[in-house]
Every structure is written in structure tokens, then in C-alpha cells.
A and B are shown apart, each in its own frame.
Chain A
Amino acid sequence: MNDLLPFLVVGVTTGSIYGLAAMGLVLTYKTSGIFNFAHGAIAALAAYAFYDLTTLRGLPWPVALLLAAVVLPPVLAVSLERMARGLAGASVTMKIVATVGLQLAITGALMAHYGAAGLPFPTFLPVDTVTVSGVHVGIDQLISASVAAAGAAAFFLFFRLSSLGVRMRAVVDDPDLLELTGTSAFAVRSWAWLIGSWFAAISGILLAPQIGLDALLLTLLVVQAYGAAAVGMFASLPLTYAGGLLIGVLAAFATTIAAGSQALAGLPPAVPFLVLFVVLLVAGRSRLADAGTHRPAPVSAPLLTPRATRGFAVAATVLAAAVPLLAGPRLPVYANALVFLLIFTSLYLLVRISGQVSLAHAALVAVGSATFSHLAVGAGLPWLLAVLLAGAAAVPVGAVVAIPAIRLSGLFLALATFGFGLLLERLLYRSGVMFGATGTLPAARPEHFSSDTAFYYVLLAFAAGGMVLVAAVTRSRLGRLLRAMADSPTSLATLGAGINVTRVTVFCVSAFIAGIAGALHASVSQSATGTPFTAYASLTWLAVLVLFSVARSAAPVLAALFLTVAPAYSSSDTAVDWMPVLFGLGAMLVALHEASARPRTTTGDGTAGASSRARERIGAPSAARERLQAAAGRAGGRAGPDTGRLRVGRPRQQGDTR
């Protein structure tokens, strides 16, 4: 037991910080219905701000702490509340996309400005150690854990006992009713966003000394709070904090189990996502009520007529066929774009046609990539067979990803798939099972098509085949079921259609195409590695696809071109570095635009859109108007002027009639 004590102490100290971050996350989710995927990015932003103010600008750390942890969060909270307000009428998908976009924008901006490499975080807490139950513990760790624990306890008491806390719970129950009682639901939510941002910022500043200053790492470390939030069923604050402690301790114990084992090296960092995935699967739909309302995808007229679409497709194919003649030394860039066209096509099928958000798509591509290398190079199978088998290998993984789709929907499906993607990344990418001990495997091109130009046409054939397959699926009975499912799963179920079969089928088809794309990616670069297929890549792909979703079925083409080709034509590295920011902000704006295009009902959402249409429908003035005005005159005359307000027990005044 004494051997485990140090890990328990370490687990509690980090777990306490996860718990604090997760409480902020749950608070904002419950009060606004928006699950903030940018929560970790806010933590990273605060940590960088602290670094900037102390190390680069020379401010004393208490001042920097005040500015980064206390002053900065309100600025962010105002923006977040505004965004949440704009997303009030949005579909779950768009709510996810908006905060994912914000995360990409913040993380991308930090990496572009400060560099992607980690930076040393300034030491500002005492680093001496004390002995607790025979275990040497850093004073800084003790302070961090105590601050987090005190913050969590204080917030819990505030939430239960204070007037504002009661209103926060009321806004969770019924925001419209809260408005009717005279309290602005927006104001209450603003406070929730402020507290959530404070907790995120403090978590970032407390975690940074332990891991250094790395935007991506910090963002994802706070993402570990998702697991804690899942333990609390995204509702209970005490359980959420307990979940943070549990994850911290489990991760610390996993370190002892994984010590000395290459195969289990990825287990400790994977623990939070294992917890997230398992809890979501076990809890299921009945225990996880989505705080956001289910809204179907918006109905909009096609941009192009079917004839124009066919014309566009032919023109695009001709142009793509001519690329080897025009691209010159940039041909490999276009080859890569064709691979990404397949990736985005498979994601389009899932997200835009079936209305399901998967954040594990990069993992499916990685499975295809690794399988292809093992089969084509390791087992010596023919190239085409290896590519097709790589696609087939991704299918069972897609089916596993589809299990949450059966048990969960909306946000929780997105979280479960995100957890699954991270689990695969942490456990398998680095364990040697997928990409070998060095993390990179050799891959080959087809024997008679190994030149860049010849291979480009092979890729073009695959890309066209993938798009035709998705188009065929869309026009088939399955496609109709998918669109119906995106509109109203309940209605579809009442018609006797097999929703679960439909969900699993679409995930499998999508995984097959993604797996093939992974194989082709390995062929293009002649090596297979998991580096490009992180969970962060899944987020980026989703944002980029949604950014171009206005182009409807052409969205995968534009997404692939902008993600892969546009950077190749940029003369400035800085511009390339800032592209994720552009993608993130763009996706956020698209989500907000789509939300604003929906019919609104309450004042908080505004009804300007409806008003003009309503005016057009009004014909001649109502014949009843004159009678009403007369009635109003009579009524006013009877009741007479009165400025008093009701007082209980006050007798009716003389002259009042009944």
C-alpha cells in the first residue's frame, strides 16, 4: 500500500485540478446548453497570458496571475455568452462545431504566435517538498490541489445557497419561466460563463507548471475534464469533482501498471478517455439528457439545380484530370488533396447527410493507413488488395464507434467518439501495434503507377469512386433513411425503420472510405504514421468541412483544396500558421449564421426574420379592429386611471366595478 501512496497523492493533486475545470464545464453546459469544447483552450490561453506577462513583460507574478486568471476570463465570458446566445436555436451539430471552431481558433493562434514547441513555464509557487504520510510532496502541488479543492467547495456552497446560485439552477430548469419571474436569463448565464472561464483559467495556470507550456497539450489536458464531467453525468457538480479526483488517481495508478511495458505506455494518458467512453456507453441515452434541444438540420434550397450540379461535376473532373499538366512541382500537393477529398467525402456522409457528429474520424484514417502498410509491405499483398483490405479493416472500428451512436445522440455521441479517438491515439499509435516501434512504417505505391503523375490519376479514380459511392448511398433507400434520421429519429422509428441498423451502416460505409483514404495517404507519402491523424485533426476536419458546408455536396472538394492546396501557394509561413485560426473562426461563423437562419420564437432570440414575412401576409385591416377599439374605450372608461400596484389584503377601492 505504501508503494501506491505516492501515486495516490499525485493523483489527488492533479485530479483536484481536473475536477475544478470539469465543474466549470458542467456549469456552463447546464445553464446554456452549450458544451464548451474550447474550455481547454481557455485554460491554455490563460497559461500563455501568465507566461507572457511574467517572462516576456517582466510583471511580478501576483499581478500577472491577477490579470490572467481574474481579469482575462470576463472578457472571454462575454464573448462566450454572446456566442451561446447566438447559438440558442442551433442544432446540436452546429453547437458542437461552434465551440470546436473556437478551440481551433484559440489553440491555433497560440501556436502561431508563440510557436508549436513547448516553452518553459515560469515557476511561481514554492518548489520545496514536505512529507505527507511518508510521501514527499511538492508544496506547489499541495497549493494547487488546495486552491482547486477550495474553489470547488466554495462554488458548490455558492451554487446551493446563494441567490444567484438558485437562479443558476432555475435557468437550467426553465429559462423562459425565469424571465417571467423578472430575472434576465442572459444575465444569469453570463455569470455562469464567467465562473466557468475563471475555473478554466485557474486550471490552466495550475496545470502548466507540471507539463510545461504547450498549447495543444494544455488544451487536451483540460479535455481530461470531460471524463470527470461524464462521471457526474454532466449534471452533478459534487460528482463531477469526485470524477476529477477519480481520474487523477486512476491515471497515477496506471503509471505504475504501465511502468516498463512498451505496450501499455499509452495507458496513463488514455485513462480519462477510457473513463469518458465507458461512462457514456454504460449510462446510455436514458440517463444522459441533452441540455440542448434536438433540432433538425435546416431546410434550404439547393444552390445548384441537378443539371447544374452535373455540369459542375464534369467541369471539376476535367479540371482535376488536367492538374498534372498545370501543377508542375506542386503535383504531390494535389495528390494529397485527392486523399483528403476522400476523407472529407466520408465525413460529409456522416455529418451532413446523417446528422451524426463523429470526432474519431482521424483514428479511422489511421487504422487504414497502418493496415495498408502491414498488408502491402509486411505481408506482401498486391497493392489494390491491400488498399481494399485497409478499408475493410476500418469497418469494424467504425462499427465500434457506432456503438455509442446506438446508445447516445447529439453531444454525447460526439464526446464518446472524441474519447474513442483519443483512446486509440494514446493507447495504440505509440504502442507499436499500429505504427511499429519507431512510429513510422514503410508504404508503397502500385507497381506500374509509382510516378507522381500516374499515381495522381490512380488517386483521382479513387476520389471519383468515393464520391460516386456517397452519391449513390445518398440517392438510395439508405440515403433517404439517413436524411429522415437527421430530421427526426423518433418519427423514423415510429415508421418501423431500423434506426440502429441505419446508424451502424452509415458509420461502416464512412469508415470504409476513410480506411481507404488512410491507405492512399500512406501510399502518397510512402510511409505510414499516426502523426497527422490525431484527435486534434478530427476537430480540424470537422471545422473545415462545416466552413464550406454552404457549398453543399461540393463542400468536400473545397475543404480538401483549402486544407491542403492553399498552404502550398502561400509564400508566407506565418499565413500558413494562422490558417487553423481562420478555419476555426470560419466554422464558428457558419454555425452562428445557420443558427440565426432558424425560426425563432422568444424575445431573447429575436423575431425580426418572421416579422417581415408576417407583414406580407397581412391583408386588409381587420373588421374587428374598430369594435375592439370601441371596447378598449369602454373598458378604459369603466376601470379608470390607476397607478397603484396590488397590495395583498388591500380592499378594492371604492368606485371599482365588478
Chain B
Amino acid sequence: MLRLHDITAGYGDTTVLRDVSLPVPRRSVVALLGANGAGKTTTLRVASGLLAPGSGTLHLDGTDLTGRRPHVLARRGVCHVPEGRGIFPNLSVRDNIAVHAAGADTGEAVDRAVSAFPVLGEKLGQQAGALSGGQQQMLALSRAYVTEPSYVLLDEVSMGLAPVVVDEIFEFLGRLAEQGCALVLVEQYVAKALELADYVFLLARGRLEFAGEPGELDAAQLMEKYMGTHT
């Protein structure tokens, strides 16, 4: 299990998360929802080691990894696909996959990435920054196949993409989940996220306001917590 416990974190003098605890069991899909500025991205940054918490702990499969650097968590099976396009735009697609492979056999990594997203096979020599937005996101997500992680943290991976690409990406995420990978979804397509999710966590103003199963969260509650409105 990937477990964030009583996390308080922020940037400089600004505290973003307060006492947030987030357990992510293996093979589960967790939807992390909340309005803009609720602290979803910050939670993922803490979970991947990009941001050291001010207080609280981060445990991975029972090992305390609080304050460890991101590459340490990545090597232990945490794959964070950050907001935006998580690629190296000035590298070719092949070089991007080689970096994702982190020392493993590059040829095999390329095969796996192409098996996940066949369109990448036609673009291997192309500069990644020149790919379309959807292809860039596929390249970023291919890391989740190439590196065989136990936990994948996905931050708004559908943002700015055409609906047909979004469908393709959610299909990919479904396959990942089917194959036993735990997912943490921060997602604007709430309904799609809830379809996949085993558990849902709702953040509001840096605090966890709800934790449970999707079925326990009714629409009115979601609107109230998510949109800050009463229905």
C-alpha cells in the first residue's frame, strides 16, 4: 500500500495540504477529486516525492520513504505522470522511452510502449515536442507500461485533449487497472474517474472532506464538496 498519513505540505509560507491521509491499496483505483486549488496536485507531488511534506509520513509497502527523492520512489514502483505533458520535448520519442526505461533494455522498452500505443511506433525518430497533444500524452502514459510500476499517479491526463483521445486514454487506464496496477486519478472527467474508481477521496481547501466508495457519494454531496454549491 502507498500511504500518505497526516500530511501537511505547501510551498514556502503557503500551506496547501493540512492533515491529509490517503491510503492507496495495491490493485485499487482511487479517484482524488476536488475543486481547483483543493490540493490534488500537491497530494500527488507529495506521493511521488516531488514535494517533501512539512509533517506527516509517506509509506510505501510498509517502508517509510518520507522525504526521499522522487527517483527513489520511482525505482520502488511509483510512477507519477504529472500535469501537462510529462515528456522531454527536445528528445526524440525513442530517447524519451529510453529515459523512461531507466537503464533497462531500450529496444524492449520501445516494443512495450508501441504495444500500448501503436501510433508511437511511427514517430520514434520524431522530436517529442512536435507530436500532437494526444500523442504526447500517450508517450507520457507509456511510461506506466514500460516501467511496470505498482502505483501510477495520474494528474489530469485528459486535460486539453479531444474526446476521442480521452476515451482512448481511459481505455488504456482501464487496461492498466485490469492488469493489477494501482491508480490514483486526479481527473476533470469526474464521471469517468468514478466509473473506474474503487475508492474516492474528496479534497476541499487542503483538507480531506470525504473518503469512501463511489457509491457512498451522492450527486448532491459531490456538488457541494466539489463545486462548493448546495443543491
Query: How close is B231's CB to chain A, nearest CB, in angstroms?
Result: 22
Interface residues of B in 60-74 (CB under 8 A from A): 61, 67-71, 74
Question: In the complex, are the beta carbons of A636 and B25 less than 8 A apart?
Answer: yes
Residues of the A chain whose Cβ atoms lie less than 8 Å from the Cβ of B1: 635-636, 639
Stretch at the interface among B117-125, B160-168, B172-180: B172-180
Question: In the complex, are the beta carbons of A622 and B88 less than 8 A apart?
Answer: no
Query: How close is B100's CB to chain A, nearest CB, in angstroms?
Result: 5
Residue of A nearest to B103 (CB): A163
Question: In the complex, are the beta carbons of A166 and B99 less than 8 A apart?
Answer: yes
Query: How close is A388's CB to chain B, nearest CB, in angstroms?
Result: 47
Query: How close is B52's CB to chain A, nearest CB, in angstroms?
Result: 4
Question: In the complex, are the beta carbons of B55 and A176 less than 8 A apart?
Answer: no
Question: In the complex, are the beta carbons of A645 and B150 less than 8 A apart?
Answer: yes
B6 contacts A by Cβ under 8 Å: yes
Expressed in whole angstroms, the Cα–Cα distance for A385 and B95 within the complex equals 67
Query: How close is B224's CB to chain A, nearest CB, in angstroms?
Result: 15
Question: In the complex, are the beta carbons of A617 and B15 less than 8 A apart?
Answer: yes
Residues of the A chain whose Cβ atoms lie less than 8 Å from the Cβ of B29: 658
Question: Could you say which of A181, A603, A652 contacts B178, with CB atoms under 8 Å apart?
Answer: A652
Question: In the complex, are the beta carbons of A602 and B211 less than 8 A apart?
Answer: no
Query: How close is A114's CB to chain B, nearest CB, in angstroms?
Result: 41
Among A172, A607, A641, which residue has the most Cβ atoms of chain B within 10 A? Answer: A607
Question: In the complex, are the beta carbons of A624 and B209 less than 8 A apart?
Answer: yes
Interface residues of A in 143-173 (CB under 8 A from B): 163, 166-167, 169-170, 172-173
Interface size on B, residues (CB 8 A): 79
Question: In the complex, are the beta carbons of A163 and B82 less than 8 A apart?
Answer: no
Residue of A nearest to B102 (CB): A182
Question: In the complex, are the beta carbons of A642 and B79 less than 8 A apart?
Answer: no
B156 contacts A by Cβ under 8 Å: no
Question: In the complex, are the beta carbons of A614 and B9 less than 8 A apart?
Answer: yes
Expressed in whole angstroms, the Cα–Cα distance for A642 and B61 within the complex equals 9
Residues of the B chain whose Cβ atoms lie less than 8 Å from the Cβ of A494: none
- Given the interface pairs A615-B55, A622-B18, A628-B211, the reply to whether A648 lies near B91 with Cβ below 8 Å is no
Query: How close is A161's CB to chain B, nearest CB, in angstroms?
Result: 10
Residues of the B chain whose Cβ atoms lie less than 8 Å from the Cβ of A631: 23, 199, 201, 211-212
B36 contacts A by Cβ under 8 Å: no
A647 contacts B by Cβ under 8 Å: yes
B189 contacts A by Cβ under 8 Å: no
Contact with A along B82-94 (1 / 0, CB 8 A): 1000111111000
Residues of the B chain whose Cβ atoms lie less than 8 Å from the Cβ of A604: 69
Expressed in whole angstroms, the Cα–Cα distance for A167 and B23 within the complex equals 33
Interface residues of A (CB under 8 A from B): 163, 166-167, 169-170, 172-174, 176-186, 598-604, 606-607, 610-615, 617-618, 621-622, 624-625, 627-632, 635-636, 638-639, 641-653, 656-658
In the A-B complex, the 4 residue pairs with the smallest Cβ-Cβ separation, listed nearest first, are A599-B12, A614-B54, A639-B25, A611-B54
28 CB-based A-B contacts, threshold 8 Å: A163-B103, A170-B91, A177-B82, A178-B71, A180-B74, A181-B99, A181-B102, A185-B71, A602-B52, A602-B70, A604-B69, A607-B53, A607-B54, A611-B53, A614-B9, A614-B15, A614-B55, A627-B212, A631-B211, A631-B212, A635-B23, A639-B26, A642-B26, A645-B150, A648-B112, A648-B116, A656-B180, A657-B198
